[in-house]
Homo-oligomer: A and B are copies of this chain.
């Protein structure tokens, strides 16, 4: 960890979210008793295993009434993305499932089993309960990739190049579409009622829904990075800017990004306009893209098959900057805050 004493790096960097504060506090409380494991996308155990726990709640992480056949594979993909971010090879999954009595558990479990098979993951156990809303908690176990090391957040160094593993912004557009009334049935994605749009915009909207509901964890890319001598990585879950701030904070560095180089889905600007969100909102602060954000020494580039894109550089100082048309300015940093259940604002907020 770059901050083994649990100290907060705030000067220059935008304030961490409430969740970051709570995790810092937890790390301080449990140092020597496990706090050393807290801070990467998955816990990296001394025995060579990586373990990650993620949960998703109806009405919080996904809309009420979403077909369970989307819910379970999505949770698996999100959790696999955590393993991708530490370069692990996934092996076992465990599900804690709380569901209303009327919900179709077999349909949910069938979909999960299919998705597990796809990723060569074994569903090895779980716990079942009845509750008023659907609530899933998934634990994934992975192991270090052969001839690899763990991929961590704290390995970025000044002069490194900053990369993303794929397009960002589409998932947030999909989330806003769902909030606007889009629905996802077993085989069809329906746009919000009364949604009139040129065909290409409609196609882009359906693609955004798919991005949101069916993210693709970048396991192979993570494993490739884990075999490099030095790389830092996390996955973009809470927005490019906020996750970049986390990476920089863990590595005690700063960064500058070039927003125009950030890869995005076609028609994202038009889609954003229809949904009342700027392209920056979607791309830089939207989140849930579950592509890797990583750094490599400047002389290295990932193989073309991964379709990564260089989007900036790591700086020695603690600033987070954006460069547009040759001008640098602070990168606004807000994203999803898991504790506030809302897009976070920048005012400092202490749990101590």
Most chain B CB inside 10 Å of its own CB: which residue of A33, A53, A101: A53
Instruction: Looking at the assembled complex, report how far the CB atom of A206 sits from the nearest CB atom of chain B, in whole angstroms.
Output: 28
Interface string of A332-352 (1 = CB under 8 A from B): 000000111100000000010
| Cβ–Cβ < 8 Å partners of A122 in chain B | 30, 33-34, 37
Interface residues of A, CB < 8 Å — how many? Answer: 57
Whether, in the assembled complex, A171 has its beta carbon less than 8 Å from a beta carbon of chain B, the answer is: no
Q: How far is the CA of A141 from the CA of B141 in the complex (A)?
A: 10
Whether B51 lies near A141 (C-beta < 8 A) is yes
| Given A38-B124, A106-B351, A137-B53, A30 contacting B129 (CB threshold 8 A) | no
Indicate if the CB atoms of A124 and B43 lie closer than 8 Å: yes
B-side contacts of A323, CB under 8 Å? none
Tell yes or no: A267 within 8 A of B by CB. Answer: no
Q: Is A197 an interface residue (CB 8 A)?
A: no
**Nearest Cβ on chain B to A38's Cβ, whole angstroms:** 6
A22, A37, A49, A98, most chain B CB atoms within 10 A: A98
Tell whether A123 pairs with B33 under 8 Å between CB atoms, given A109-B26, A128-B339, A339-B130.
yes
Contact partner of A51 (CB less than 8 A), chosen from B105, B117, B139, is B139
List B contacts of A29 (CB < 8 A). Answer: 109-110, 113
